[in-house]
Structure formats: structure tokens, C-alpha cells
Structure 1
């Protein structure tokens, strides 16, 4: 029986891999066709935005995404600046044996130089808000009203920053109007989103440090290989409260403006960051960090190939998708998601690389490929993983955790949308995601009950899970197309087109593809499980 099952699994895997190969050949073919037709010099050329002369085979390069364009354009100077900072910091740390306060003062000096260049005179706004948050924390940090107080302060500041677009100095007096000519090269209120998360982390970690420890340290050491070997894992650094004197202004300011993580993260808790000022990370050796950098460079080459040959983002933002068939819209939407994943992977891992060189370990964003996620919960845990950890620690658990999971997703995703920007499009994306999440949570809850597990055999559970995964991927595609490709009004057009008689087969084909893709992901996860257990 076991031998027959093994043969069947091999045959199934062969079929799934063959289907996947054919699928990607078709997707790449149509992506190239659409990009060539609507690109410069094509039959329908001249309609795409953001194409510039590239460097690969004389092709044009799609740099229509402003985040990627700015990061790519500033990559050389960023590398030089952060390289100099790391060289100075590591030399000073080893020469003068800097730890804790000494290291934080050094990084404040370096980071302030960096931030004044970025924000110019607007650095005053950032520092004033940070000082206000520090005083609120120190005054109310040991009271029951502190959590709601610190949240109200930060949400209010976040909204006001966006409504007043970073404030004009003329609001505070005409004699300060000249400072508006020195606002730097990067809008400070955009970077403030990450600063806000750090301010909340500092405040709440300080508040919880007054209480009894929540972490069972002995039990954790028994189950954590790193901590058992004498090192400290990130989870231990985050959950273990520091002494109250460690919540000082110098460490707080260093944490807020630490140059390698300032612009885009990854997000690290105050406890974890501050503990690494005293004891730099030892989980990643120099060789591992070098290999990490090499993999990053490979991904950079990959996105350059993608943007030179497949103009997914430009096709999406230029509005030409309205001329496409539903199948072509699906290809563009799928391509945009893959482009976004690779873009954010490069941005986040670039800054994490420099933080590791500086002795600061952060959570890894994008631990799984976007094409290896078949449920919403897994997708959000592996997309902006450090942000997900932050949300779990500072919002999800305080709101009641798993006991109120169905209710918690609504305020959490509403906050995520507002945190990104004040746009109805993002709120629509957040609430649509919550609606789609409800059935998944209910399905998982039902499938975990002993009665259902005894009633259904493993094969049926696997098939039902694959169907559920196909439905989830469909919902995820729809939510992200609303948020980042065609908007809420465009989705009405797409659904009406999909439901036409001649497009029903396309809709079925897409769903079957998601079903087959989910089953392939099952095989990948089953291969990874023994490997992870042996680590």
C-alpha cells in the first residue's frame, strides 16, 4: 500500500511540474508579446508610462514604479554612505570597545548626518515628535492608561502628518518660512511610518518591562537550538525585557534613526535592538553574511531582466489593461505581484544586509517565494514578515489574540491600510482582504476539530485543502489587483467581463491552475519540513 502511494505521489509530482512548466512558458510568452506590442516601437506603442532606455540588448527598461526607480537610482550613493558608516562604526567599536551607550551615541552622530541630508530642516519635526513620545512614555509608562494613550498619540500624529503633507514652517510663523527652502531630498513624513512603529515599540516594551516576565525562558531554551548553544535568537531578544535603565533617551533615539534600517526596515523591536547594542548578533557568521549579499546581487540581476523584457507595472499603471482580454489582465496582475515581491525583497534585504554587518539582526522579510503561498494567513506572515511580527506583538495579542481572531483582523488591517497611506483604495483592499479571510479562518477551524479529522481521510482533506487554496489565491489576486492594479472601479469591469459566456472557460482554467499550483506547493512544503526539522 505504501509503495503504491509512493508511486502515485511521484506520478502526481511529475504531472504538476510539467503543468507548471507549460504554464510559465505561456505566461512568459504572452508577457513578452504584450510588452513588445505596447512598448516603444511596437504595433500599439507609445502608450506605456515610465519606460526609459535600458542597458540590456538596447531594450527599454520599465522604471514606472516610483519606489523601485528611487531605490535603484540611489543605490550607488546609498552603498557608499552605508559602507563608510559601517567601516567607521566597526573600527570605533573594536578600537574603543564600545557597547551600549557609547555605541548608541556613535550611531546617533552618524545617523543624524544621514537624516539631515534626507530631510533638511524637517528633521526638527521628526525630533520634536520623538521627544513628545519619549516624555509620554516616561510619564505614563507605568499606568494602565498608557497603551491607549501612546496609540492615540501616534495615530493622531500619523494622520496629521499626511493631512498637512509634512507641515509647512509657515504654519508656525512667517519668520520661519525660509526653512521651507531646506526640506531635504526625501519627504520626512513618508519615513515617519517606520519611525512611528519604533516609537510604539519603545513605549510598549517599556510599559511591559514594569510587569512580570511573560516568557518561560527555561522552556524556550529546551526548544530553541540557538539559545541552547549559548547564542540568543531574535525571539528571545524580543520577548526578554531589559532593565529599566536600558530604556534611555540615547538608546531610544539611536533606535529611531539607526541609518541602515531608517528608510525601509526591516522592523525590529526595541528590546531586540537595544540588546544587540550590548551584545552584537552572533547567529550570522561573516561567511553567511557574504553569501546573503551574493544572493541579493543575483536577485538584482533577476529584476533587471524582468523590467527590461516584461513591462508589468507600466502595463498596469498606463490603463492599457482595459484593452486586454481577462486572460491578459490576469497575466499582468500576476506579473505585477511577482514584480512587487522581488522589488520589496531587494529593498528589505539590502538594508538588512548592512544591519547584519553592523551587528544588528532583524527578522527576514519575504522568507517564502510569493509563488509558494496558498493561504492568506501564510501570505501575510511571509510577505512583510517583520511587520507581521510587530502587529502580532503590539496589536494582535493585546486585542485578544487567537481567542478573537475573526474580530481582530478588521482593526488590524484597517490600521495597516491607514499606516500605508490615507487612500480609499487601500481601505478597500484592507476590507476586501478581511472579507476573504473569514471563510479561510472558519475552514481551518473546522478542519482542525478531531471529529472532522476522524470523519475524513487524509486524501480527502488534502483535496479539500487544495480547493481551498485555489479559492484563497483567487481572492488574494482579486484583493491585490484592487489595491495595486485596476482599483475598485476596474474590478467591476473585470468581473463583468469574466462572467461573459466566452470567458467562463478562461475563469475555470485560472482556477484549475491555482488548484494545481496549490498541490505543487504541498509537495514543496513536505520536502522542506524534514529539512527544517534537522536544522
Structure 2
């Protein structure tokens, strides 16, 4: 039994999830790969552990909380399962959205198109996960045999590895792109070429603005033109075509035929949004690389190039020769991360291609794979017993449901949104790990383990968040005055001198960031409302932090913890509202839901009881983070 608990502890440790969580970004690769507790391998982590307070897990207060968890969590599941049963009056309205499932006697809610596209293609994706690394090994075997001379030094061996991996990724990426997008691959490669020419051919001072304008215009054009099908273009060039009963000219018929070769995923413009982030990454990494002196920064700092910290891998530019067309295309089309990410910067990608990260071990990868499988199984069971997505899609009469059922349908709808994003991201990261690339883990915590809006967005789609910080937030002046290249001159505006001014600039930057995030997800008013609501709901947290600084409450830690718990309950409710608007119900659906919850005394009483339960959950969240601090881990989320 002890060995089982130790195995489960290792399986669900932060180190298994991503070594970036248990070591600082500036820690060397050897430190990050060390499996010992952070406090035992890092002086910074040890100082964090010494500053943590004593645990509360065995106090009378927390034994009361345990009673809440033992009774309330099963009740939450029972409430939402009852609302999904076929004897519910609403069942007939959404039953057509359910699909045959593999659990005996249960149908499956596979009505979410985004998750269904992943779920229905799991066998093919697993085949790719196995075949792609095997093909690389076969290619490496034949490449080594065909080499005319052996490498004379370790540096030459690493250069040969970079060349070998880039060649394979370039070739495999083109084949992969053609298979999934068909003839639309030519449209994508055309966009690639324009973006590359902007970085390489324009005067250096024009590169940033030209890169952003081109890519944002491409984002809008892809959406508004629906991926540029050829048939409408041919019809515009063929006067008289398109009349009733007319099959069109030969040109129109030919264009229609070509549009039919759309590959396995004809809607390439939907997936291109992630690729667009890599387009910007390449151009901006190349632009910033020109600020560095000709001498190698790695040699200047006397760093071990095979054991760079993550921060150095991202910030230190690749050598000038690496910014070529082949490596550019190989990076953009890197198959494990092409469809959905996680997102790796160009500098990091080149560094990992040359030097395999020490954080990748067989044990970690196997444990990560087991954890992915258990998460997938959890999602499958939820979709067989909880039909929250199908119910929300059927626009039911919400008054039929009890306040408890309404709140639980909304709550589990958000969990399904979290899982439908988490599972593909983890699968593609697992594929990359098997292939020898270590991208960031996109989800830090379970959706139910968040109470701060700032921390929530740092831990949700984490690689995208880090991309935003590097390429948008810091150049705008966030994080201490903008991006600082080697010459030491910040490219962003200087930070305001006053604390209030800094907070206001932070909010403005937050608004700009979330406007971009909303438009990047979809050109939709509902998502714009989501982005602005997120920014609006951050304000109370900022103001509360200014009004109740932790230093003033250092002599009353328990009172401060309770006060923070009350504020965090409000934060959680606001975050749920913002996400329900953006990703589930929209404004109209949310209005109906809130009216049903607050339209009676019973509903208001239930809402108050929910706040009490959330307060209990928040206190446990606080203690989980304190436990991480005692281990020397400070995730800040």
C-alpha cells in the first residue's frame, strides 16, 4: 500500500506534469531534471520553503472542511446526473444530440464539435504518435549510414543532430500538411513565404509593425473569406455563372473540383490561428536577434549550451544561420504541435533540436502518458453521465430545473470546457515528449483549483500566456519597461512612476491583451464581451489588493486568510460568469440562468449556500499553495 501511495504521489506531482513547475526559469537544465524535492536542489526554493507557514491540514477547522468535501462533492455529481437523466422533461429536446457510447446503457454527449473532432480521430492520432517518432529513428539510421565522415567533436555532433532533425521535420511537415489540408497547403505556404520575406527583406525598423499588421490582417481575412475557396473566385471571373440550374463554366467546375481536395481537415483557417503565433515568433525572434553582438552570447556568459535554462533557451537567439527558410518551415509545421500547440518559440525550438532537453526521461514520459490516459477516461465517463453541453445547446426552459441543477449544469459545463482543451493539449505535448521536444504544459491546475483572476490566466493555456507576455505584454511596457535586447534599450514605454499609474497601465495592457485573445479565438461579439468582462472583473482584485496589503495584516494571518477567502469567492463567481458568456451560454443564456437562480427565495438561499461551499474550497486552495511553498515551489497561480 505505501508503494501505491508513493506511485500516485509521483504520478500527480508537479515534476511529472512539467519540470518548469518545480524549478525556476533561470535554473540550469541539470537542476530542472533533478527528481529531488525543489528545496533540496535549489537555494532559492529552500528560502521559499523556510518562509512558508505551518500546515493546517490536521486542525479542527480543516476537519470541518473535510466533512463538506465528503458530503458536497458526491451531492454535486448526483445533482447534475439527475438533471441529465432521460426522465427529465427536457430530455426529449436534446436527446437527438446524444451519440452511442461505450458505457453499457448510456448514451454519450459528443455534441461539442471541438472535442468531437479530437474524440473521433483518437485512433488515427495514436497511430501518428507511434509512427512519427519511429520514422524519425529510421531516417536517422539511414542518415548516419550515408554520412561520409564521422563527427570530430561534441559540438559537431550537436550540429549534426540539429541538421538531421530539421531535415526530417521539414520533409515530414510538408507531407503532413498536404495530408490534412490537401491543396490548401499551397495557400498556407504562400502565407508562410510572405511572412518570411517581411522578416528578411524589409528594413529592420519596419519588421515589427509589418509583422503584426500582416498577421492580424491574415487572421481576419482567413475568417471572413472562409479559407479562400476557389469556386467563388472562379464564379467572379466567369460572368453569368451561378444562375439557377447553371453548373457553371469549365473554370468554375475546375475550381469546384480543386476545392474538393481539402484533405482530412478542409477548414485549415481554424487551425491556422496557432500557426499564426509561430509566424510572429519567428519574425520577432529574428528581429531581436539583430540586437545581439556578433559574439555568441552563450560563450560570452560561459554557459553550457547543452544545459541551458529555459529562460536562456527562449531569450538567447539562435545563431544567424539558423534563421533560414528550411528551419522556418520545419518550425511552423512541426507535426506534434502543429494542430493545437502547446506553443514553443523559435529560439527554444532550435535549441531543443540541437540539444535534447535533460528534463525528458523515459520514466517522466511514461507517467505523463498514464496521466493523460486517466484524464481522457475521466472525460469519457463525464460525457456518458452528464449531458450539460447538449442541454445548453438545446436552449431549454431553464425554469424546469431546480436552482441546484442549474448551478451544477453551469459548473460542469465549465469543467467540460476545461477538459476538452486540456486533453488535446496534453496529447500533443505527449507526442512531442516522445519525439524529444519538451514544450510547456498548457494547464497548471484543475479549473476548480483557482480563485484569482490574474493567477487563473497565468495558468490557463500557459504556453499562449507566455507567448503573450513575451510578444505583446512586455513590449507594451508591462513587466518592467518593455523588452530589453542586448543593447539595453527598452523597446516598450517606461513604466509609470506611481503605484496607481502602474496599476492603471497594467489594466490597460490587460484590456489590449484580452481584446487580442478574444479576436484570436474567433471574430465574435460574444468572445469580445468575454475579453472585456475578464478585464472588468480583474479590477476588484486589483483594488482589493491595494486596499488590503498583506504587510498590514502580518500580525493577523488567520483574519487575513478569511478576508482573502471572502474576496476569492466573489472572484470565482465573476470568472464563472465571464467564461459562461464567452464559451458556453452567451449573454442571453446567462441572463436566463441568473434569472432562474435569483428569481425566488429558494434560489437566493441556494446561492448563499454555494458561496459558503466556495469559501471552504478556497481555504483548501490556500493550503494547497502553502504546501507547495513548504516544498519550495511558488507557481504564482
TM-score by length of 2: 0.77
Q: CA deviation at 1:119?
A: 0.8
Determine if the alignment matches structure 1 residue 519 to structure 2 residue 596: no
Q: How does 1:193-272 map to 2 (within 5 A)?
A: 193-212=273-292, 231-272=307-348
Q: CA deviation at 1:7?
A: 7.6
The 2-side partners of 1:504 and 1:297 are apart by 40
The 2-side partners of 1:320 and 1:527 are apart by 43
Gaps of 5+ in 2: 1-53, 145-159, 238-250, 480-501
The 2-side partners of 1:446 and 1:32 are apart by 42
Determine if the alignment matches structure 1 residue 108 to structure 2 residue 170: yes
Which has the larger Rg? Answer: 2
Work out whether residues 321 and 329 of structure 1, in 8 Å CA contact, stay in contact via their aligned partners in 2.
no
Determine if the alignment matches structure 1 residue 79 to structure 2 residue 156: no
Q: SS at 2:190's partner residue?
A: helix
Structure number with the bigger relative contact order (C-alpha 8 A, sep ≥ 6) is 2
The 1-side partners of 2:297 and 2:61 are apart by 44
The 2-side partners of 1:357 and 1:236 are apart by 23
Work out whether residues 109 and 390 of structure 2, in 8 Å CA contact, stay in contact via their aligned partners in 1.
yes
Structure-2 residue corresponding to 1:442: 543
Q: CA deviation at 1:228?
A: 9.0
Determine if the alignment matches structure 1 residue 168 to structure 2 residue 215: no
After superposition, what is the alpha-carbon deviation per residue over 1:360-403, rounded to whole angstroms, capped at 9, x for unaligned?
A: 11000112111111111111111211111111111110111144
Structure-1 residue corresponding to 2:185: 123
Q: 2:80 aligns with which of 31, 39, 43?
A: 31
The 1-side partners of 2:338 and 2:389 are apart by 26
Distance 1:112 1:458, change over 3 A: same
Determine if the alignment matches structure 1 residue 493 to structure 2 residue 592: yes
The 2-side partners of 1:329 and 1:33 are apart by 11
Structure-2 residue corresponding to 1:224: none
Distance 1:243 1:171, change over 3 A: farther
The 1-side partners of 2:599 and 2:451 are apart by 27
Gaps of 5+ in 1: 222-226
Structure 1, 82-91 or 469-478: larger mean CA deviation = 82-91
Structure-2 residue corresponding to 1:146: 207
Distance 1:199 1:352, change over 3 A: same
Q: CA deviation at 1:497?
A: 3.5
Q: 1:341 aligns with which of 412, 418, 441?
A: 418
Q: How does 1:235-384 map to 2 (within 5 A)?
A: 235-320=311-396, 322=398, 323-384=400-461
Distance 1:122 1:511, change over 3 A: same
Distance 1:26 1:211, change over 3 A: same
Structure-2 residue corresponding to 1:531: 631
Q: CA deviation at 1:230?
A: 6.5
Structure-1 residue corresponding to 2:135: 88
Q: How does 1:384-395 map to 2 (within 5 A)?
A: 384-395=461-472
Structure-1 residue corresponding to 2:485: none
CA RMSD of aligned residues (A): 2.7
Q: 1:426 aligns with which of 524, 527, 536?
A: 527
Structure-2 residue corresponding to 1:61: 108
Work out whether residues 326 and 494 of structure 1, in 8 Å CA contact, stay in contact via their aligned partners in 2.
no
The 1-side partners of 2:120 and 2:625 are apart by 37
After superposition, what is the alpha-carbon deviation per residue over 1:425-469, rounded to whole angstroms, capped at 9, x for unaligned?
A: 11111111111011112323444475x356x62222212211111
Q: CA deviation at 1:297?
A: 1.0
The 1-side partners of 2:182 and 2:334 are apart by 17
Distance 1:321 1:527, change over 3 A: farther
Structure 1, 227-236 or 28-37: larger mean CA deviation = 227-236
Q: CA deviation at 1:505?
A: 1.0
Q: CA deviation at 1:293?
A: 0.7
After superposition, what is the alpha-carbon deviation per residue over 1:271-314, rounded to whole angstroms, capped at 9, x for unaligned?
A: 11111221122212012111111111111111111111111211
The 1-side partners of 2:79 and 2:285 are apart by 51
Determine if the alignment matches structure 1 residue 504 to structure 2 residue 604: yes
The 2-side partners of 1:291 and 1:127 are apart by 37
The 1-side partners of 2:437 and 2:211 are apart by 26
Work out whether residues 343 and 439 of structure 2, in 8 Å CA contact, stay in contact via their aligned partners in 1.
yes
Q: CA deviation at 1:324?
A: 2.3
Q: CA deviation at 1:94?
A: 5.3
The 2-side partners of 1:331 and 1:304 are apart by 18
Structure-1 residue corresponding to 2:71: 22
Work out whether residues 342 and 441 of structure 2, in 8 Å CA contact, stay in contact via their aligned partners in 1.
yes
Q: SS at 2:108's partner residue?
A: strand
Determine if the alignment matches structure 1 residue 407 to structure 2 residue 486: no
Work out whether residues 90 and 358 of structure 1, in 8 Å CA contact, stay in contact via their aligned partners in 2.
no
Q: 1:477 aligns with which of 555, 573, 576?
A: 576
The 2-side partners of 1:255 and 1:6 are apart by 46
Structure-2 residue corresponding to 1:99: 161
